[in-house]
C-alpha cells in the first residue's frame, strides 16, 4: 500500500515538474508514466482525456485523481492529485516571490523559445499515440475527419463536438 | 486578522467558482480571473495581470493551477497560495472521484463502450487541432522544424521519455544562456574606452 502510494507520488510529481505548457503537452508525459507502471491501458487513458475535456479542470489534475483512485482508492487519488500540484506550487511561489527581479528576464524568454517546438512535438506525439488505439476502422476515420472539419470551419464548442462524436458512436457501432 | 480571514474566504469562493466553470483548459479561465480580480475586486491592475499571465507560463504545470497559486500568493502570501490552489483543484477532484467510482461499475457496458468508441477519434482531432494552433504561434525556421520533427520521432518511434527530451532542452538553453551572458560581458569590456593610467 505504502509502496504504491509512494510510486504514485513520484510519478505524478515528475509529471508536474516537467509538464511545461500544460494541457495537451502534458499528455505524452502522463502516458509515459502510465505505460511504465502499467496502471492504465491506453484506451482507458484516452477515455480520461475525453472526460477531462467534458468536465472542468486541467487534464493533469483529472488524470491524477482518476489514476490514483483506480490504483489505490481515495488515498491514491489524494496523493496523486497533490503530487502533480507540488512542483508548480514550489516553483510558482519562487517566481511570485522574486517576481520583480525575474520579470522580463532574457533567459526566460529564450527558454520559452527553445521549449515551444518541443512542446508542439509532444502534442503531436500524443495525437499519434491516441490515434494508434482510436483510429481503427473506416468509421473512426470518418469521425476524426468530421471533428477536424467542425473544429476548423465552425465555432462549435469542443464539448459539443465530443457529445456529437459519442452519439455517432452509439449509432455507428451499436 | 479578521480582515485577512474574510479575504481568504473570498479568495476561496472565487477560485472554487473558477475551478467549477473552467472547461477546456486553463486559458479559458483568464477572462474569469480578470473579471474577478481586475474589474470587480480591483486587487490587481490590468498591466500587472497581463504580466502575471505570461510569467506563470514559464513554470511547468497546468495553467489554471499556476495562475491560482501566483495570484493567491501575491494577494495573501502563503496562506493565499494554499487556499487558491486548493479551491481551484477541489471541484474537478470531486467530479472525477465521482466519475471514477461510476466507471468502476459501468465499464464494459456495451452502450458506454460504444459512446467512447465514437469519442476517441474526436479526441485525436482535438489534440491535432491544439497542436496546429500552437504551431501557428511559432516563427518557423529550418532548424526549428528539424528540432520538432526529431523530438516527435524520438517520442513516437523510439519511445524516448518526454522527461529526457525536456531535460535536454532545459540544459541546452541554460548553457546557451551562460555562453551568451559571457559574450555580452566580453563585448562590453572590449568597447570600454581604456584611459591611460587606469587600473585594469
- Does an H or E element contain A20, and which? none
Tell me what pLDDT residue B77 has.
Answer: 92
Tell me what pLDDT residue B200 has.
Answer: 38
Determine contact: B179 vs chain A, CB below 8 A.
no
Q: Return all residues near B195 (Cβ < 8 A) that are at least 6 apart.
A: none
Tell me what pLDDT residue A38 has.
Answer: 93
Tell me what pLDDT residue B28 has.
Answer: 67
Q: How confident is the model at residue A103 (pLDDT cuts 50, 70, 90)?
A: low
Domain ranges of chain B: 1-120, 135-192
**Interfacial B residues in 27-56 facing A (CB < 8 Å):** 51, 55-56
Q: How confident is the model at residue A23 (pLDDT cuts 50, 70, 90)?
A: confident
Taking an 8 Å cut-off on Cβ atoms, the answer to whether A23 and B62 are in contact is yes
Taking an 8 Å cut-off on Cβ atoms, the answer to whether B65 and A88 are in contact is yes
Tell me what pLDDT residue B196 has.
Answer: 45
Determine contact: B23 vs chain A, CB below 8 A.
yes
Task: Calculate ∠ Cα B134-B137-B141, nearest 5°.
Answer: 110
What's the average model confidence in pLDDT over A12-41? 90
Determine contact: B186 vs chain A, CB below 8 A.
no
Minimal Cβ distance to A99: which of B55, B149, B165:
B55
pLDDT for A140 beyond 80:
yes
For the packed helices A138-153 and B110-135, what is the interaxial angle rounded to 10 degrees? 50
Task: Output the average pLDDT for chain A.
Answer: 90
Q: What is the ipTM of this complex?
A: 0.90
Give the 3-state secondary structure of residue B44: coil
What's the average model confidence in pLDDT over A108-133? 86
Separation of alpha carbons B191 and B187, rounded Å: 6
Taking an 8 Å cut-off on Cβ atoms, the answer to whether B126 and A140 are in contact is no
Query: b/e string for A35-58 if b means 16 or more Cβ within 10 A?
Result: beeebbeeebbbbbbbbbbbbbbb
Separation of alpha carbons A60 and A3, rounded Å: 22
Tell me what pLDDT residue B197 has.
Answer: 44
Could you list the pLDDT tens digit for every one of the 200 residues in chain B? 668 899 999 999 999 988 888 776 666 677 778 888 888 888 888 887 887 777 787 788 888 889 899 999 988 999 999 999 999 999 999 999 999 888 776 667 889 889 999 999 999 999 999 899 888 888 888 988 998 999 999 999 998 999 999 888 888 888 887 887 666 555 445 544 444 444 43
Determine contact: B65 vs chain A, CB below 8 A.
yes
What's the average model confidence in pLDDT over A87-108? 80
Tell me what pLDDT residue A56 has.
Answer: 85
Amino acid at each position: 500500500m505504502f509502496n504504491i502510494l509512494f510510486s504514485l507520488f513520484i510519478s505524478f510529481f515528475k509529471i508536474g515538474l516537467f509538464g511545461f505548457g500544460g494541457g495537451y503537452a502534458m499528455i505524452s508525459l502522463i502516458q509515459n508514466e502510465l505505460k511504465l507502471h502499467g496502471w492504465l491501458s491506453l484506451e482507458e487513458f484516452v477515455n480520461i482525456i475525453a472526460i477531462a475535456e467534458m468536465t472542468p479542470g486541467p487534464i493533469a489534475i483529472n488524470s491524477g485523481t482518476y489514476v490514483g483512485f483506480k490504483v489505490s482508492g481515495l488515498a491514491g487519488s489524494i496523493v496523486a492529485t497533490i503530487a502533480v500540484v507540488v512542483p508548480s506550487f514550489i516553483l510558482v511561489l519562487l517566481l511570485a516571490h522574486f517576481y520583480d527581479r525575474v520579470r522580463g528576464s532574457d533567459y526566460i524568454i529564450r527558454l520559452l523559445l527553445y521549449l515551444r517546438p518541443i512542446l508542439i512535438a509532444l502534442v503531436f506525439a500524443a495525437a499519434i499515440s491516441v490515434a494508434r488505439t482510436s483510429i481503427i476502422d473506416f468509421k473512426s476515420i470518418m469521425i476524426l475527419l468530421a471533428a477536424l472539419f467542425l473544429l476548423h470551419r465552425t465555432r462549435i464548442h469542443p464539448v459539443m463536438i465530443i457529445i456529437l462524436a459519442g452519439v455517432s458512436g452509439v449509432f455507428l457501432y451499436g | 486578522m479578521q480582515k485577512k480571514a474574510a479575504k481568504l474566504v473570498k479568495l476561496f469562493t472565487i477560485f472554487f467558482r473558477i475551478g467549477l466553470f473552467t472547461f477546456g483548459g486553463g486559458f479559458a479561465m483568464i477572462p474569469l480571473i480578470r473579471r474577478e480580480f481586475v474589474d470587480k475586486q480591483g486587487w490587481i491592475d490590468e498591466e500587472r495581470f497581463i504580466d502575471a499571465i505570461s510569467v506563470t507560463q514559464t513554470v511547468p504545470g497546468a495553467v489554471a493551477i499556476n495562475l491560482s497559486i501566483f495570484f493567491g500568493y501575491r494577494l495573501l502570501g502563503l496562506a493565499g497560495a494554499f487556499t487558491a490552489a486548493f479551491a481551484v483543484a477541489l471541484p474537478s477532484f470531486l467530479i472525477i472521484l465521482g466519475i471514477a467510482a461510476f466507471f468502476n461499475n459501468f465499464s464494459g457496458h456495451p452502450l458506454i463502450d460504444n459512446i467512447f468508441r465514437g469519442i476517441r477519434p474526436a479526441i485525436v482531432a482535438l489534440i491535432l487541432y491544439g497542436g496546429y494552433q500552437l504551431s501557428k504561434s511559432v516563427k518557423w525556421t529550418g532548424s526549428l522544424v528539424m528540432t520538432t520533427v526529431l523530438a516527435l520521432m524520438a517520442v513516437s518511434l523510439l519511445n524516448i521519455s518526454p522527461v529526457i527530451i525536456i531535460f535536454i532542452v532545459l540544459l541546452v538553453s541554460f548553457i546557451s544562456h551562460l555562453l551568451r551572458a559571457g559574450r555580452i560581458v566580453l563585448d562590453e569590456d572590449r568597447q570600454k574606452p581604456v584611459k591611460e593610467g587606469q587600473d585594469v
